[in-house]
């Protein structure tokens, strides 16, 4: 099953490589991983999407907790949560397609953030499925470049993952 | 008064303030400032090894035999990479080490400088934690953190990588008395509810069994474990790493378990109805095939490391905490409980176990005209009255030592269990002997293993370490040969040891005493003579039976009840 694990860790050089190294050394799967400092600059927040049996997920959380740099972690998929991913997509926009792509971006609540006489860059935020859906709705030949941020997640409600 | 010191001086001073007695190391360019600081003081003694692998194993032997952290100092680049095998060895067996590696100047890091290697990157998968110190102001605190992390929770090696310019910079020195890390807080006390559940389960058992490992020794809980086991009156087995944590000569002890464990230990594991695992990690060499492992038992597991619990074998009652604390709580509850162990059921259980014992699974041919390796170890045990420190390398000799030397005390049996590092025995014995100058320290080895760190005979000479090296020389990598005999139809691919040195001359050339023993009748006199030479290293080259195999044996991937006994036993 797919799990989203949120990790608060010391914002030290090498912290990211400890997590990445753990996953490769123990043969765990990483679907996506995003990391950036939090409001407290001494802490980084990482969102890691992985999949595996219950036993494997249990080991993953235990092994992550064992890393000296990891302060706290939470498996978001254990409760109600929100996940979002951001995508920047560069598409060919010429002739009649230009108007069509604009309309499609509006339907998906995307923003066109760069325009040339032959291209758009569209910014789109949502769940992974929504981004996949947008890509599928576009004419494949029109897509010039796709950049996705990987999933960021947060639990619903007042409870928070904080030190 | 403010004390201003260079980074190098801070490092050495911090070691002194940490109470470090010995540093095992080898100098080189990146650590010259540190070596200069060592030269200008007398509190911390430096032991010059002949290869950095020897330094890590020696520090490891020191740590295993004392419970105090071992300290290593090596230079950058090859100094660090040579140390890696020893670091990984310590990591697998949870041994507290602090390894200081030199690094190139901070401004040269990443430039492929001379003797530069990413020590933090290379050691990351085999350390508990590691640090790169970029500012001299962080140095003292980092050393404190390193010792704190290495010695608390589940212990392990910690690397501190120190660039050369950091060791030259000057700053105020103050060694912190204590450090706290918000991200590192090992659990010590077990959960009371879980402990209660465990006690209820044990007291309801008809066929209880204790399986305990190295965690008991690391947690200094041998006495508590002994009290606990006697209170219950049930059988106990030890893992290879746990030998000595329960007295091997006690009647409740059924021997080591696992791939080369005793028949009675493995059968009891298979047939028990409640299994209590204490400071052990269900290693594959212990468990065999997971699906066939102790199929009828409810399982309780006490361990300080949550990630060890339910990693390979699912358990019913997990307890995270330090083994000693948890056992003490359990003892209190058992003493206060109305329900006591079922005496009739226990008697029937022991009757069954004694039938398994009667197989006498470790018996070997005493009439052979060739020296049987088991006989050498039995004699060593008798002559040292079971009170020696015994280190070993890896292979058949290691298993025989584990089977035939009965350890009644913890920290006497020093071997590389997890990583299985050939070359460990001799340098580890050096660390043990330095920590226990008056004790008998025997290194049980084979002619293949000893060659992997033979250079350390020179270190032994320099520091006058009177080790007794028991070389069980069968002219083969014995364990490899055994597997090739069993599983490769006797195709002995590259497991023979050709062109061996004359070990007597070799020992003598290093300034030691050498002996070659070829007849069974000469074993005892030779050992006696060697043990009398209290101040000399004696290298005893026993020419043993080449065909001897280690029994019992569970093939990898089989269950505990599918043991092979020695051919004579199986016929009996």
Mean pLDDT of B147-162: 98
The one catalytic residue in B114, B462, B486, B528 is B114
* Residue B56 pLDDT exceeds 70: yes
Q: Are A91 and A137 in contact (CB under 8 A)?
A: no
Determine the pLDDT at residue B568: 67
Determine whether the interchain pair A66/B129 forms a contact, defined as Cβ–Cβ distance below 8 Å: no
ipTM of the complex: 0.93
CA distance B5 to chain A (A): 26
Dump strand ranges (E) for A11-155. Answer: 32-37, 43-51, 70-75, 81-92, 111-115, 119-126, 143-148, 152-155
Cβ contacts of B183 on chain A, cutoff 8 Å: 9-10, 68-71
Mean pLDDT of B319-344: 95
Determine whether the interchain pair B124/A62 forms a contact, defined as Cβ–Cβ distance below 8 Å: no
CATH of B373-550, one of 3.10.20.600, 3.40.50.970, 1.20.140.10, 3.40.640.10: 3.40.50.970
Question: Is B452 considered catalytic here?
Answer: no
Q: Supply the Cα-derived Rg of chain A in whole angstroms.
A: 19
Best of A54, A64, A66, A161 to disrupt the B interface (most B CBs within 10 Å) is: A66
- Give the N- to C-terminal CA distance of chain A in Å, as an integer: 28
pTM of the model: 0.96
Determine the pLDDT at residue B567: 81
- Give the N- to C-terminal CA distance of chain B in Å, as an integer: 79
Mean pLDDT of B355-379: 95
Determine whether the interchain pair B307/A62 forms a contact, defined as Cβ–Cβ distance below 8 Å: yes
Minimum Cα–Cα distance from A63: chain B residue: B307
Cβ contacts of B282 on chain A, cutoff 8 Å: none
Q: Does A66 touch chain B (CB under 8 A)?
A: yes
Q: How confident is the model at residue B566 (pLDDT cuts 50, 70, 90)?
A: confident
Please enumerate residues of B whose Cβ is less than 8 A from a Cβ of A. Answer: 120-121, 124-125, 128-129, 132, 149, 181-184, 305-307, 309-311, 314
The one catalytic residue in B477, B479, B515, B540 is B479
Closest in A9, A13, A18 to B124, CB measured: A18
CA distance A22 to chain B (A): 7
The DSSP-derived string for B125-166 is GGSSEEEE--SGGGHHHHHHHHHHHHHSSS--EEEEEEEHHH
CA distance A68 to chain B (A): 6
Cβ contacts of B149 on chain A, cutoff 8 Å: 68
> Which of A:82-111 have CB within 8 Å of B?
none
Beta-carbon count within 10 A of B244 CB? 23
Dump strand ranges (E) for B133-256. Answer: 157-163, 170-172, 208-212, 236-238, 253-256
- What are B481-509's pLDDT values in tens digits? 999 999 999 999 999 988 999 999 999 99
* Residue B81 pLDDT exceeds 50: yes
CA distance B129 to chain A (A): 7
* Residue B571 pLDDT exceeds 50: no
Same CATH topology for B192-357 and B373-550: the answer is yes
Determine the pLDDT at residue B572: 46
CATH class as words, domain B192-357: alpha beta
* Residue B2 pLDDT exceeds 90: no
Region of A52 please: left (phi>0), alpha (psi -120 to 50) or beta.
Answer: left
Average pLDDT, chain B: 96
Give a three-class secondary structure readout of B18-75. Answer: CCCCEEEEECCHHHHHHHHHHHCCCCCEEEECCCHHHHHHHHHHHHHHHCCCEEEEEC
Strand order across the B70-74 sheet = B45-48, B22-26, B70-74, B97-103, B157-163, B129-132
Determine whether the interchain pair B125/A25 forms a contact, defined as Cβ–Cβ distance below 8 Å: yes
Question: Is B115 considered catalytic here?
Answer: yes
* Residue B372 pLDDT exceeds 80: yes
* Residue B551 pLDDT exceeds 70: yes
Taking the C-alpha atoms of residue A89 and residue A103, their distance in angstroms, rounded to an integer, is 15
The domains of chain B are located at 4-172, 192-357, 373-550
**Averaged pLDDT in 10-residue chunks for chain A of 163 residues:** 96 92 95 95 96 95 96 96 97 93 96 97 97 95 96 94 89
Determine whether the interchain pair B183/A70 forms a contact, defined as Cβ–Cβ distance below 8 Å: yes
CA distance A155 to chain B (A): 21
- Domain B4-172 adopts which CATH fold? Rossmann fold (3.40.50)
- What are B239-279's pLDDT values in tens digits? 999 999 999 999 999 999 999 999 999 999 999 999 999 99
* Residue B214 pLDDT exceeds 90: yes
Determine the pLDDT at residue B570: 57
Residue B414's beta-bridge partner residues?
Answer: B391
Mean pLDDT of B156-171: 98
* Residues near B480 by beta carbon (within 8 Å), at least 6 away in sequence: B395, B495
Determine whether the interchain pair A65/B306 forms a contact, defined as Cβ–Cβ distance below 8 Å: yes
């Amino acid at each position: 099953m797919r799990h989203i694990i949120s990790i608060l860790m010391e914002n030290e050089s090498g912290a990211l490589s400890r997590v990445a190294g753990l996953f490769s050394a123990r043969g765990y799967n990483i679907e996506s991983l995003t990391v950036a400092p939090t409001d407290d600059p001494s802490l980084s927040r990482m969102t890691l999407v992985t999949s595996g049996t219950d036993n494997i997920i249990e080991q993953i959380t235990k092994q992550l907790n064992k890393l000296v740099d990891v302060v706290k972690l939470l498996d978001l998929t254990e409760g109600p949560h929100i996940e979002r991913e951001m995508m920047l997509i560069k598409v060919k926009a010429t002739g009649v397609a230009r108007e069509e792509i604009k309309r499609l971006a509006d339907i998906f609540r995307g923003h066109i953030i760069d325009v040339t006489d032959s291209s758009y860059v569209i910014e789109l935020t949502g769940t992974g499925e929504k981004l996949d859906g947008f890509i599928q709705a576009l004419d494949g030949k029109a897509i010039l470049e796709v950049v996705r941020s990987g999933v960021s997640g947060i639990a619903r409600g007042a409870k928070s993952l904080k030190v | 008064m403010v004390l201003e010191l260079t980074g190098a001086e801070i490092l050495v001073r911090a070691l002194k303030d940490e109470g470090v007695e010995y540093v095992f190391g080898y100098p080189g360019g990146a650590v010259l400032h540190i070596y200069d600081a060592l030269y200008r003081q007398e509190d911390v003694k430096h032991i010059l090894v002949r290869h950095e692998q020897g330094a890590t194993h020696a520090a490891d032997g020191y740590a295993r035999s004392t419970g105090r952290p071992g300290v290593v100092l090596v230079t950058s680049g090859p100094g660090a990479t040579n140390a890696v095998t020893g670091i990984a060895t310590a990591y697998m067996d949870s041994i507290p080490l602090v390894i200081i590696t030199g690094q190139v100047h901070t401004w040269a890091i990443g430039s492929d400088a001379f003797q530069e290697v990413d020590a933090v990157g290379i050691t990351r998968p085999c350390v508990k934690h590691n640090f790169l110190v970029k500012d001299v102001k962080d140095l003292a605190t980092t050393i404190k953190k390193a010792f704190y992390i290495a010695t608390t929770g589940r212990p392990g090696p910690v690397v501190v990588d120190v660039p050369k310019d950091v060791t030259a910079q000057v700053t105020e020195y103050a060694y912190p008395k204590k450090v706290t890390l918000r991200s590192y807080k090992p659990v010590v006390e077990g959960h009371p509810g879980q402990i209660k559940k465990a006690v209820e389960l044990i007291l309801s058992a008809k066929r209880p069994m204790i399986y305990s490992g190295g965690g008991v020794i690391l947690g200094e809980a041998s006495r508590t474990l002994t009290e606990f086991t006697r209170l219950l009156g049930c059988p106990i087995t030890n893992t290879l790493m746990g030998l000595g944590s329960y007295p091997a000569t006690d009647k409740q002890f059924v021997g080591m378990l696992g791939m080369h464990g005793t028949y009675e230990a493995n059968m009891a594991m298979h047939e028990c109805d409640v299994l209590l695992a204490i400071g052990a990690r269900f290693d594959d060499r212990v468990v065999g095939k997971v699906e066939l492992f102790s199929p009828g038992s409810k399982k309780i597991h006490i361990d300080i490391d949550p990630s060890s619990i339910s990693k390979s074998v699912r358990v019913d009652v997990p307890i995270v905490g330090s083994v000693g604390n948890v056992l003490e709580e359990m003892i209190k509850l058992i003493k206060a409980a109305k329900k006591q162990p079922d005496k009739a059921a226990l008697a029937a259980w022991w009757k069954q176990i004694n039938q398994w014992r009667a197989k006498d699974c470790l018996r070997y041919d005493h009439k052979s005209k060739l020296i049987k390796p088991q006989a050498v170890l039995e004699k060593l045990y008798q002559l040292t009255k079971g009170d020696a420190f015994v280190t070993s390398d890896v292979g058949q000799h290691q298993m025989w030592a584990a089977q035939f030397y009965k350890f009644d005390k913890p920290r006497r049996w020093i071997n590389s269990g997890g990583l299985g590092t050939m070359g460990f025995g001799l340098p580890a014995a050096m660390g043990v002997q330095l920590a226990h100058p008056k004790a008998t320290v025997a290194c049980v080895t084979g002619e293949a293993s000893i060659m992997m760190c033979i250079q350390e005979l020179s270190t032994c000479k320099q520091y006058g370490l009177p080790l007794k090296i028991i070389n069980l020389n069968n002219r083969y990598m014995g364990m490899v040969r055994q597997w090739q005999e069993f599983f490769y139809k006797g195709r002995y691919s590259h497991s023979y040891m050709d062109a061996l040195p004359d070990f007597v001359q070799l020992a003598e050339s290093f300034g030691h005493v050498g002996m070659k023993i070829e007849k069974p009748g000469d074993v005892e006199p030779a050992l006696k003579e060697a043990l009398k030479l209290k101040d000399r290293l004696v290298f005893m080259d026993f020419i043993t039976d080449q065909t001897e195999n280690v029994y019992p044996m569970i093939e990898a991937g089989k269950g505990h009840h599918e043991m092979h006994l020695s051919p004579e036993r199986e016929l009996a």
